[in-house]
Amino acid sequence: MGYGKKNRNVGIVGIGETKFSSHREDVNQPEMLHEAVREALDDAGLSIDDIDCVVHGNMELFEMVHQPDMWHTLGSGAFGRDSFRLTTGGTTGGTLVAAADNLVASGMYDTVLAIGFEKLQEGHTTGGITNMADPLWARKLQSGALTDQASVKQIEEFGAERARKAAMMYRIIMDKHACLNPNSHRAFGLEWEQMDDLINTSPPLIGDLRLIHMCSQSDGACAMIFASEDKAKEIAETPVWIRDHINVHREETLNLCNNFYPNETTHRFAAEELYKRNGIENPLDYFDVFEMYDPQAWWGVDWLRDFFLLEGDEHIKLVEEKEIMIDGKMPINPSGGVIAANPIGATAMIRVAEAAKQVRGNAGPHQIQRPVNHALASSFGGTMWTVLFILEKELDW
């Protein structure tokens, strides 16, 4: 038995996303979940009776509901079904997809509904994230999700002017994509001419991380339905296959000095392992789209290098030459990405959902116009954790 060799193939057969917004005051939590579940069931042409198992996840301290899957049964459809609750911080949505992949492949369940959500309006996001740090050692240092590491590193390596331009260019590209996606929480209509202005005038958060670079705090939910190969072919015209997933966490404290083996990010480690075991030699050529969990523009640029195993400034060039735009060589986040909408417990699942929609060819106004056969989707969370997925149109790998 090899790592990644699944007992049976698993297909994505239904996808539902709510509208993402800063305030979903028109719905409570189960109602919001229900919107996504309803859409996923309709998308698959299934009823809730066709679902064997429901997987639920978010971070309970954001909304201060303990074991929210109990109350959410009203909207999730878990009543009378097997159900699991998994949560891993920002990676939660990815963990839910990985769990659904495992649960279906195991043969224990034929159809699994996974639901990720967050209603950040009902809590205090920065307070909530600060609260993840160790109360003795790190909490006083933690500033929510705001960090300046990526900008310091890139300015040191590429010079202030080039690094700042690349980060803002990335930001504007993401906004241009967000403007195409009707579900976006934030779509400003930023123009290239505003670049210099934004670099200098957007309110600074920490160091060179400015408000415009940072992701939003959103309300929203995402639901996806997964089925075994036989079932998936019956249910969907174009099931999207989960070829493989990898989950890489690391310690909260031991790696602070960053001098332990392997001295690289979990993103690069995950990418190397996943490509190696799937025989993918040149990821930049292989994949047709990448939905990346990019919490802010500086990280977005930096992580391109890790996920595509690039060296030097190859990743900066991709941004500068606008190759990451929806019609470029490697479209990144045609959905607008995390900067456009970040309902945390759903965010990583939205990456997989959006990548799958691109493969199906029905993403809507932000559909890539070339055929999309191979997609990559990433999750980010915790203290630099990664879940990474390869999605395929055909079962021919």
Partner 1 sequence: MNKRVAVCAVAQIKNEPDIWYQRFQGMLFDCFESIMEQTGVTFDLEKGIRNIVTCSDDVFDARTISDNGMTDVVGAHYRGEEKTAQDGINALGYGMACILSGHDDLILVLGHCKESQPESRRMCANLAFDPFYCRPLGLDFLNAGAMQARAYMQKSGLTEEHLAKVVVRSRENGAKNRFARDNGPVTEKDVMESPMVSDPLRELHQYPVTDWSVGMLLCCEERAHEFTDKPVWLTGFGSTMDSYFLGDRDLASSFALKKAAARAYKMAGVKHPADDFDVAELNDAYAYQLPMWAEGMGLAEEGKGGQWIDAGGMEKQHVNLSGGMLNGNPVMLGGLARTLECVLQLRGEAEGRQVEEAAKAVAHGTTGAAGQHHAVITLEK
Q: Looking only at residues 19 through 58 of this chain, which bind partner 1 when binding is defined by CB under 8 A?
A: 28, 54, 57
Q: Of 19-27, 215-223, 260-268, 318-326, which segment contacts partner 1 by CB under 8 A?
A: 260-268
Residue 279 touches partner 1, criterion: CB under 8 A? no
DSSP 340: H
Q: How far is the CB of 257 from partner 1 (least distance, A)?
A: 14
Q: Which of 166, 236, 246, 348 binds partner 1 (CB under 8 A)?
A: 246
Cβ neighbours of residue 193 under 8 Å, at least 6 residues apart? none
Options 45, 262, 312, 361; binder of partner 1; rule CB under 8 A: 262
Contact present, 56 and 85 (Cβ < 8 Å): yes
Q: Does 381 bind partner 1 (CB under 8 A)?
A: yes
Q: Does 98 bind partner 1 (CB under 8 A)?
A: yes
Among 19, 22, 50, 71, binds partner 1 (CB under 8 A): 71
Could you say whether residue 118 binds partner 1 (CB under 8 A)? no
CB 202 to partner 1: min, Å: 27
Site residues for partner 1, 72-91, by CB under 8 A, read: 72-74, 78-89
CB atoms within 10 A of CB 124: 16
Q: Is 383 in the site for partner 1 (CB under 8 A)?
A: yes
> Does residue number 250 form part of the binding site for partner 1 (CB under 8 A)?
yes
Name the segment binding partner 1 (CB under 8 A); options: 19-27, 102-110, 200-208, 309-317: 102-110
Does 273 engage in binding with partner 1 (CB under 8 A)?
Answer: yes
Could you say which residues in the range 163-202 bind partner 1, by CB under 8 A?
none
Q: Does 286 bind partner 1 (CB under 8 A)?
A: no
- Total length of the chain: 397
Residue closer to partner 1, measured from CB, 38 or 249: 249
What is the distance between the alpha carbons of residues 169 and 381, in angstroms, rounded to a whole number?
24
Pairing of strands 219-228, 111-119: antiparallel
- Please give the Cα distance from 148 to 233 (Å, whole number): 47
Alpha-carbon span 309 to 211, nearest angstrom: 29
Give least dist CB 112 to partner 1, A. 10
Location of structure tokens 């001098």: 259
Stretch that binds partner 1, among 98-106, 166-174, 298-306, 346-354 (CB under 8 A): 98-106
Cβ proximity to partner 1, 276 vs 329, nearer residue? 276
Interface with partner 1, residue 377, by CB under 8 A: no
Residues 6 or more apart whose Cβ sits within 8 Å of residue 216: 22, 185, 186, 339, 340, 341, 342
Cα angle, residue 137 at apex, residues 131 and 142 outer, rounded to 5°: 45
CA distances from 129 to 132, 136, 138, 258 (A): 5, 16, 12, 22
Please, are residues 241 and 9 in contact by the beta-carbon 8 Å criterion?
yes
- Candidates 36-44, 232-240, 243-251, 349-357 — which segment interacts with partner 1 by CB under 8 A? 243-251
Q: Please identify, among the stretches 123-131, 168-176, 201-209, 310-318, the one whose residues bind partner 1 according to the rule CB under 8 A.
A: 123-131
Which residue from 167, 204, 171 is spatially nearest to 189, judged by alpha carbons?
171
**Preceding omega of 371 cis (within 30 degrees of 0):** no
The size of the interface with partner 1 (CB under 8 A), counted in residues, is: 73
| Residue 206: CB minimum distance to partner 1, A | 20
DSSP code of residue 203: P
CA dihedral sign, ordered 330, 188, 196, 154: negative
Q: Using the minimum distance from each CB to partner 1, give the nearer residue, 15 or 344.
A: 344
Residues contacting 312, CB < 8 A, separation 6+? none
Q: How far is the CB of 267 from partner 1 (least distance, A)?
A: 11
According to the binding rule CB under 8 A, does residue 272 interact with partner 1? Answer: no
> Whose Cβ is closer to partner 1: residue 88's or residue 335's?
88
Nearest-angstrom CA–CA distance, 158 and 264: 19
Per-residue binding string, partner 1, 196-235, x by CB under 8 A, is: ----------------------------------------
